[in-house]
Amino acid sequence: MAWQGHRGYTRQRDMRLPTAFLVFSIGVLIWVLVGPRSLAVQAPVNTPTPIAAASMTPQPSVTEPPLPACGIGDIAAWHGKTADWQTTLLDTTFELSSSYAPTDLVPVTQAGIRSNDEKAEVRAFVIDDLRQLTQAAAGDGVTLGVNSAYRSYAEQAVTYDQALGTSGPVMAALAVAKPGHSEHQLGTAIDFAVNDAGDAWLQANSWKYGFIGSFPPDTSPAFTCYKYERWHYRYFGRDTAAAIHDSGETTREWLWVNAPPPPGYPIAPTPAPVPTPSVAPTAPGTAAPGGTAASP
């Protein structure tokens, strides 16, 4: 009985396998006959769907317009009041009005820094950090000076006309801002008188005191619209300067993202790009040690 029982169990199991195989085979047969036909109909409809969905996912520029290319134009800066000094974006397109003139200008020498222009002025709130920057540099054996600071709209017009006469329109466009387009009109920009040591010190430390170089070597003029200028710095205050420094972006890029124009604001006045110079812009280390007054 025990033997039969064992046989019965074994036979029973042997019968299950062919049955399962038969059911499986019928299923495969149905799939082969019907399945491919239905797949052939559905495939073109279904296949592109996940691809299209995936390609639409990484689009950060949907909410953030791309940084506009540098173009020649005269569009009012969207943060164009003297109270907006931290967020005003100026380049070869965006400008200040001819009447923009800070009323709190004071001589830079109040910060204890020497100046080659006895009339050089900045807005009063810049003085404290300029003094601490000057003292910190001196503590490291670096003597800083000022070549140029605030320039009115009219003064910038003279500067630009002079550059136009000596350099021609191509180089002038890269080297000198048109009136209204200069950060010097903000009253927060300074052209420092620097040698190589001063240049290196400012690059490493200026942001700690609220100053950021507007035209860095690696990103000018592509991102800044002007050629590299190691002497030109703009004051943003320490917190904003630290944020810009940490971002690794130029001031123009950072302002575009963090203080963007309102929706619908005109940002591209003309398709004409800034002309490419036939002569390479001044290379790092070959710029005039004392800087120049002909500066954006």
Binding site for Zn ion (CB under 5 A): 191, 232, 295
Tell me how far, at minimum, the Cβ of 161 lies from Zn ion, in Å.
Answer: 17
Closest CA to 225 of 46, 75, 76, 68: 68
Tell me how far, at minimum, the Cβ of 282 lies from Zn ion, in Å.
Answer: 14
Both tokens of residue 190?
């300074």
Phi, psi of 66 (to 5 degrees): -65, 150
Whether 145 contacts 167, CB under 8 Å:
no
Nearer to Zn ion, 160 or 267 (CB): 160
Tell me how far, at minimum, the Cβ of 216 lies from Zn ion, in Å.
Answer: 14
Nearer to Zn ion, 71 or 291 (CB): 291
Both tokens of residue 15?
């019968």
Q: How many angstroms separate the CA atoms of 122 and 185, rounded?
A: 10
Residue nearest Zn ion, Cβ-based: 295
Tell me how far, at minimum, the Cβ of 214 lies from Zn ion, in Å.
Answer: 8
Residue whose token pair is 């963090």 = 258
Nearer to Zn ion, 123 or 232 (CB): 232
Cis peptide preceding 271, ω within 30 of 0: no
Tell me how far, at minimum, the Cβ of 125 lies from Zn ion, in Å.
Answer: 19
Nearer to Zn ion, 241 or 267 (CB): 241
Nearer to Zn ion, 152 or 295 (CB): 295
Helix, strand, coil shares, percent, the chain, to 5: 45, 10, 40
